[in-house]
Amino acid sequence: MANSVKSMVANQFTVGKTGNPMSRGKAKILVVDDEPSQRKMLQANLSLEGYQVFEAADGSDAIARVSEEFFDLILMDNRMSNMDGIEALKEIKKISPGIPVIIITAYASVETAVEALQSGAHDYLTKPLDIEELKIKVQQTLEFWRLKEENILQKRRIENLFDASRIVGRSQKMKEFLKPWPWSPPVRLQYLSSANLEQAKNL
3-state helix, strand, coil in the chain (%, to 5): 50, 10, 35
- pLDDT range class, residue 7, cuts 50, 70, 90: very low
- The pTM of the full predicted model, rounded to 2 decimals, is 0.64
Domains of the chain, earliest start first = 2-17+152-201 (no CATH), 23-150 (3.40.50.2300)
pLDDT in tens, 142-167: 998 788 777 777 777 777 765 555 55
- H-type alpha helices, the chain: 2-12, 36-48, 59-68, 85-95, 110-118, 131-161, 172-177, 194-201
pLDDT in tens, 46-55: 999 999 999 9
